[in-house]
A and B are shown apart, each in its own frame.
Chain A
Amino acid sequence: MQLLPQIVKSVEQLLIGEKIRVPLRRKIISTLIELAQNVIHYSITNYPYANPAISLTREGDNIILSVSNPIHSSQELFLRTYIENLLSMSKEEQLSLYQSVLTKSDYTDTGGAGLGILQVVAKSDGFQYKIEPLDQEHAYFTIEATFHAATNS
């Protein structure tokens, strides 16, 4: 199943068509790859009432990448605590933490670096998330990363 490279190729063509320059294309597509692979590794798959979703929209100079997936409600507290901690940091602190995790931490149980969300928070120009309850045991987790075409040109 090679869905992700197809999505990457399509998004790259779309961004070239929008005249987005190489560094910002790299940022957006790197973010897409991280978030999509987070979905592949961590989304629950046996829940029929909500599916993962990816959207890329442009609003003026803002390019907004949104990725959603269903999760177990038990993951909510960890995700909120982890993300709120990252959001309380300055960009410099986030990048410093990224370097520290990259060079000093071990791999996660799924073979990841434990850096996906941190990279997205650190590299995007705006980061929002929401966790909406679906039922007693499930919730819908959405990450929205914004990139400014003007400041990245």
Chain B
Amino acid sequence: MSANYAIGIDLGTTNCVLAWTDLHVEQPEIHLLPIPQLVAAGTVEQRSSLPSFLYLGTEADASAGTWSLPWNQGSSFAVGEAARRQSAEIPQRTICAAKSWLCYSHVDRHGPILPWNTPDDVQKISPVEASRLYLQHLVSAWTERFPDAPICEQQVVLTVPASFDASARELTREAALAAGLPETLVLIEEPQAATYAWLDDQRDVWRKQLRAGHQLLVCDVGGGTTDLTLVDVTDDAGELQLQRRAVGNHLLVGGDNMDLALAFHVSELFRQQKQIELNPWQSVSLWHACRAAKEALLAEDGPETWPVAVPGRGSRLIGGTIAVDVNRQAVQDLLVNGFFGSCSLQDRPVRQRSSGFRELGLPFETDTLVTRHLAAFLSSHGDQQTTAQPTHVLFNGGVFKSAALRNQLLQQLSTWFQSPPIELCGERDLDYAVARGAAHYAWTKHNGGLRIRGGTARSYYIGVETAGLAIPGAPRPLHALCVVPHGMEEGTRADIAGGGIGLILGEPARFRFFSSAVRRDQPGTRLQSWTDDELQETDSLETELTQIDGLDEDYVPVRFESVISELGVLELWCVHTDSNARWKFEFSVRDDAQA
């Protein structure tokens, strides 16, 4: 295999982007791949991003060639811009936010569950399959542009949220390999990719801005999620190094919440002032019009009011258009105070459980104040239980295209710390930074250069039921055994004494599995209690313990071994202490819908 290109792919919640550079050059020169996609029936156009939407067409569509692509004649589905447009009018046939489902362990992510909550006569597909189809579209676009450079032979880097746990990463890798990406695929975290994009932009000048002892907060608020990361700048024998210190939990709050909040506010204005109920079709126009209004009203010298107009459904544009004036203060209250409102560093996100019965669905954050989530994150990641005090901030994600929101967050940080963090600026298009940074990293992997170190973002634990007399009706107390420490580096392994854990051969063994973004335990540490904020349960692990030749007993003592491969893939093995027979655990993501 001889790779000629370094490729970075951003598989986003709302948009996918592919960036590339020649691998054998002194300095990477990063380009975006134009992605041919359907923008309407029978109409293919190139765009620099692929909206992460999938429209499941009808049989008639397929036979008429409505959604045909150069590489997929008679396709029964459409991915990209056309699908995004369909999502408003035909939601029951449109899949969106598949990525958010990918890391939601309460549903079967190999099961046909999307589009969520739609009638059974629509053929559903799984979150993994939807992700595969997005990636496959990118692979096809690459193949069309570079027919002589198969993507499976290139150096490819795919990004995931820093908050993705091991099983969500594994599912992403599975979808990627099924889509035709190479086995050598490397996953990196989006905030790190954003940092590489900044480094790529700065070239060598970055050393003038950062020095040892500095700490960088990467604040990435995308369409659907908020992803926080802290990176330390250290000095290693005179060379500056970047070390990822911590990542935040998976927070389902982002720009879409903001647009939705504003759209809801404006639709209420229409109802109150004009007695007009907007239909779903108009709500899409409203959504777009609100985005424009947001930019205008939040600008530093923005007007006091801004007209938001929504065109009518029929062919009469002017006669059908309805408009209301939205005022600056209302938008300020809704968006700036509602999402970036000031709070103290001691504040914590408020968790609301409105009732015991909650509809199964994505666990959107009930507290939309990004600032409170940030306060909680910084408070738990300083040295020796202190609060982290970042010296610099790097913004990423479409939300921060708004200067008003960037300033609001900087303002908040300056009230928390005596020396306010400095924003790292640069000419970066926030829509493409992650893919560009990933391509830069792919180039670095081959040619050498600065890399952010850090190992695993989380520590991992298996659940061990304690022995002892059973109490009818009560579950046995559960302990958590640390099997992967935070920061475990790629290409290393850890041995964990089982401490008296035994398993029955010939039967499937299953462990509950937990991860933590905040605890810093050594492998082998056994926790007897923890809070919900410390440990999150993820998919359970299972393996079939085959019989060992020449062994009569069927109850054997075991120890564990964890391995982080060079590609960053976590493997967990269970080893018979006497014979060294080993069994590999797999995530059982199929039927983990917990009780």
The finding on whether chains A and B are genuine partners in a shared complex, rather than unrelated, reads no
> Which residues of A are in contact with B by a Cβ distance under 8 Å?
none
> Which residues of B are in contact with A by a Cβ distance under 8 Å?
none
